[in-house]
Chains A and B, each alone.
Chain A
């Protein structure tokens, strides 16, 4: 069964304390992996798309990486405004549009 698992469920960090969020996937074939950010009471907001193992993408304090089994979202020197829930989703090779979503990691950055 195709599955996407995110860990940890929640992560509390001090401002400036770098860490990583994990998205592991067990799928028959990967077209792409997405990272989204979701603020409380709002819809998910697109961050990155990764297409193949070894690919990396960066945006401000965030860097996403992809291997054949998992993706990491690295957060360097986070600020309180980085607090949000981070979602990952996978588009399968045999799917035109549909995604499998992880349950998310809630990140809290304390000043």
Chain B
């Protein structure tokens, strides 16, 4: 099993450009999520999905869109990049069981710089 994979590993964008960060998992996990990690702060949830066709906003959703057409894939779209979106982005997945604190499995991250 590859686990959770993310592409690209690094990306530089200019202000106003758009792009999609890719995330895929092969563990048949229904729950997937996107986080951003900034220095000195805890991971912050951007968007999450509890299954194909179902998405919801997390703590910091502004400027980002997601969709979930399959169980395996959960891409994150930056609509119009801003310097404040410079960060490291992690995709994670877990089994769905609502309420039960199961562990999440993380991808290797995408380091994004917006100039």
Q: Count A-B pairs with CB separation below 8 Å.
A: 58
Task: Indicate whether A49 sits within 8 Å of B40 (C-beta atoms), given known contacts A41-B109, A43-B4, A97-B98.
Answer: no
User: Please, how many angstroms separate the alpha-carbon atoms of A51 and B44 in the complex?
Assistant: 22
Q: How many B residues, CB 8 Å from partner? A: 28
Within 8 Å by CB of A96, from B42, B98, B104, B109, lies: B98
User: Please, how many angstroms separate the alpha-carbon atoms of A97 and B104 in the complex?
Assistant: 10
Within 8 Å by CB of A46, from B33, B59, B104, B107, lies: B104
- Judging by beta carbons under 8 Å apart, are A43 and B109 in contact? yes
- Within the complex, the shortest CB–CB distance from A8 to chain B, in Å, comes to 13
Kindly list the 9 A-B residue pairs having the minimum CB-CB distance in the complex, ordered from nearest: A32-B101, A101-B42, A43-B106, A46-B103, A101-B43, A96-B98, A91-B101, A44-B106, A31-B101
Closest residue of chain A to B4 (Cβ to Cβ) is A43
User: Please, how many angstroms separate the alpha-carbon atoms of A43 and B92 in the complex?
Assistant: 9
Closest residue of chain A to B101 (Cβ to Cβ) is A32
Within 8 Å by CB of A103, from B41, B98, B109, lies: B41
